[in-house]
Amino acid sequence: MDQRFDRRLDKSHRRHTLRALAGAGLGLALPAWVLAQKAKPAATPVEVWTAPGCGCCHDWIDHLKASGFVVTSHDGGNDQMRARLGLAQRYASCHTALIGGYAVEGHVPASDIRRLLANKPTAIGLAVPAMPIGSPGMDGPEYKGRKDPYDVLLVADDGSAKVWQSYR
């Protein structure tokens, strides 16, 4: 055999070997990438009805978005939606949301909503009645760091409620 032919064969063999190794590396990397994509939690859709023109409602919506929720909001209609979802007026706040089949009323922290969706209790949903300062959406610079104590309530199907989480 000609020496030049041997060198070409060696180069060709080397290229083939490198391509095979690169492909094998990709084969190992691809499943890790696929697993990483599956490990990301799917964005949770939220539909929110706000009090018309309410700024703190939109601040709460921003809190949800920052926590990975995908929000569709409606300016107005929260009183009607609260009633439709079966939440009594005593649990009222300035906005009402529907998340994963649950009603969420008021300035409920995203972490409590995530816990609700993970635990799936039999309930209407969660509520933070009124508008406590320091809760998500009621925690802007205009409140100068003030944090009032409040409870997140789990509202049962019969309308009763128990404390889901306390913030003191």
pLDDT digits (tens, 9 = 90+) for 64-99: 999 999 999 999 999 999 999 999 999 999 999 999
Assess contact for 68 and 43: CB atoms under 8 A. Answer: yes
CA atoms in the 13 A half-sphere facing the CB of 60 = 34
> Own/partner pairs for 85-88, CB < 8 Å, 24+ apart?
85/124, 85/125, 86/124, 86/157, 86/159, 87/124, 87/125, 87/127, 87/155, 88/159
Model confidence pLDDT, tens digit, residues 107-128: 999 999 999 999 999 999 999 9
Q: Band of the pLDDT at 41, cuts 50, 70, 90? A: low
Report the predicted TM-score, pTM, of the whole model to 2 decimal places: 0.76
**Strand pairing of 125-128 and 44-50?**
unpaired
C-beta neighbour count of 88 within 10 angstroms: 16
Q: Give per-residue pLDDT as tens, 122-146.
A: 999 999 999 999 999 999 999 999 9
Whole-number Å distance between alpha carbons of 42 and 83? 29
pLDDT band with cut points at 50, 70 and 90 for residue 52: confident
Give Cβ neighbours of residue 164 (< 8 Å, ≥ 6 apart).
112, 115, 116, 126, 151, 152, 153, 154
